[in-house]
């Protein structure tokens, strides 16, 4: 499966979405245009710090750098 990003003028969006949805092999994942709010960012950062602390304490298994980079 390959991913692509397509930019569509606002006035053509409805037509384009109808066209794409008619293709049975396409999966549509709409992306958010807005960055996360300050609270969402802080919540994500807090969760990341908790995960790091759990890994350091041996409560959770870490991930190799190779696996992490392959996810990107």
User: What is the tens place of the pLDDT at every residue in 50-68?
Assistant: 999 999 999 999 888 898 8
Q: How confident is the model at residue 9, as a pLDDT?
A: 94
Tell if the pTM clears 0.85, that is, is over it.
no
pLDDT band at 47 (very low <50, low <70, confident <90, very high): very high
Q: Which residue has the tokens 């609270």?
A: 39
């Amino acid at each position: 499966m390959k991913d692509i990003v397509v930019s569509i003028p606002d006035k053509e969006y409805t037509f384009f979405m109808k066209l794409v949805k008619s293709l049975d092999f396409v999966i549509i994942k709409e992306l958010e245009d807005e960055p996360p709010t300050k609270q969402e960012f802080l919540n994500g950062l807090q969760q990341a710090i908790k995960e790091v602390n759990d890994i350091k304490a041996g409560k959770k298994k870490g991930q190799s750098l190779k696996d992490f980079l392959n996810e990107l």
